[in-house]
Amino acid sequence: MPLRVKWAELLKYLRFILFVVLFLFLALLFIVLVAGSYGRSILPTIILALGILLALLIIVYLIFKLVEYNALKKRLDWLITQLELPEENEILEELRLAVIDYNPEMKEKTCSICALEMGEKALIISCLKCDKIFHKEHFIVWLRESESCPNCKNLILPFD
């Protein structure tokens, strides 16, 4: 299983555990408030323990999200560097991307992100998997939100 999939699975399980503990915490808090004197003996200790567990889970989840954000930023910076050096760049070929000058004789004439026509001197990115073209600037902005081609969902940003 690729590391990207393992990381996503880990975050999914962590999020699920976080919601379960939050639900238990709120349910027990409600029971203490409604139960009166019977529920006031042991339930506060359980609520305190669940509250501490909930706080720890939130901290761990936020740390994981921060690490994920930093990894995405590094991969995006790396890809932008690769896009600046397009001449015979084997890495771009592996990612199924090409940086080319726009030619009016091309089949595609509009950016698949902004739907505007390409200018004659436009530097464009072409997805070699689906043959769609994008303005370079728009493609980089797109990658800040998504790690795949806007059209065919080909994974662009590799995961270490």
- Write out the H or E segment, with its range, that includes residue 58: helix 43-84
Dist CA 22 CA 52 (whole Å)? 11
Strand runs labelled E in the chain:
97-101, 123-127, 133-135
pLDDT tier at 2 (50, 70, 90 boundaries)?
very low
Least confident of 15-29, 74-88, 104-118: 74-88
- Neighbouring CB atoms inside 10 A of 97's CB total 23
Homologous superfamily in CATH for domain 88-145:
Zinc/RING finger domain, C3HC4 (zinc finger) (3.30.40.10)
Q: What pLDDT shows up at residue 158?
A: 60
Q: Has residue 87 got a pLDDT over 80? A: no
What are the residue ranges spanned by the domains of the chain? 3-80, 88-145
